[in-house]
């Protein structure tokens, strides 16, 4: 585990503003999906997900790390991903279109985030850094691919493609959804293993 950089108490930093805007766009994603405006929902999700790395990069590049940012950035990520999974699980696709993200997948994603957040809170309370590892970051990337793939298939947004490519999209979306879920589970287990000292009471500060 790496040592955390010193965080300021500033609130109105550029990374925090970006995270705040991403939260607003995330709410727009949920509304658009509830209305089954698949194309606009896809565009809003891509916009929100694509800014995920921007605030973190800016904070590190310009030494703009803040206490609020440490909380807000991962919180917004969880709101976007968990909320979108829940909305997709609860919203039917366009008539006759297959889906790749279903209810139990949303449950896995939400439970994983709740467990990891609880463990992270206890570790950081004890002064132990519990930053996201490679598997956690890769999980976020795969989830951010699986969701647009599902949206494209649900809304039949690839109608302009040739029939062979269009026919492959449901399979691609399904495979991506499963890879994202498997990595979601794996990264959660990996986090719990890294925190085993705290969870078993054997860690000594």
Average pLDDT, the chain: 83
List the CATH code of the domain at 14-200: 1.20.120
Look at residue 181 in the predicted model and tell me its pLDDT.
97
Predicted model pTM: 0.86
Look at residue 44 in the predicted model and tell me its pLDDT.
97
The three-point CA angle 103-107-113 to 5° equals 145
Assess whether pLDDT exceeds 70 at residue 129.
no
Look at residue 150 in the predicted model and tell me its pLDDT.
95
Assess whether pLDDT exceeds 50 at residue 2.
no
pLDDT band at residue 117, thresholds of 50, 70 and 90? confident
Look at residue 1 in the predicted model and tell me its pLDDT.
42
Assess whether pLDDT exceeds 50 at residue 79.
yes
Look at residue 149 in the predicted model and tell me its pLDDT.
94
- In the chain, domain spans: 14-200
Look at residue 180 in the predicted model and tell me its pLDDT.
96
Per residue in 26-69, pLDDT (tens digit) is: 999 999 999 999 999 999 999 999 887 777 676 677 666 666 66
What is the chain's alpha carbon radius of gyration, rounded to the nearest angstrom?
18
Q: Which of 14-18, 33-37, 132-136 shows the highest mean pLDDT?
A: 33-37
């Amino acid at each position: 585990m790496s040592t955390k950089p010193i965080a300021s108490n500033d609130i109105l930093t550029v990374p925090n503003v970006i995270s705040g805007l991403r939260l607003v766009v995330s709410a727009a994603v949920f509304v658009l999906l509830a209305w089954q405006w698949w194309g606009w929902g896809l565009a809003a999700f891509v916009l929100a997900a694509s800014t995920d790395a921007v605030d973190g990069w800016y904070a590190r590049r310009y030494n703009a790390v803040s206490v609020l940012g440490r909380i807000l950035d991962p919180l917004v990520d969880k709101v976007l991903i968990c909320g979108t999974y829940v909305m997709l699980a609860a919203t039917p696709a366009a008539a006759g279109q297959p889906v790749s993200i279903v209810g139990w997948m949303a449950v896995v994603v939400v439970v994983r985030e709740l467990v990891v957040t609880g463990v992270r809170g206890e570790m950081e309370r004890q002064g132990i850094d519990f930053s996201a590892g490679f598997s956690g970051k890769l999980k976020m990337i795969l989830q951010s691919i699986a969701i647009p793939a599902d949206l494209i298939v649900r809304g039949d947004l690839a109608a302009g493609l040739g029939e062979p490519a269009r026919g492959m999209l449901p399979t691609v979306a399904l495979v991506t959804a499963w890879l994202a879920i498997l990595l979601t589970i794996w990264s959660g287990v990996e986090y719990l293993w890294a925190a085993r000292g705290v969870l078993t009471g054997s860690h000594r500060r």
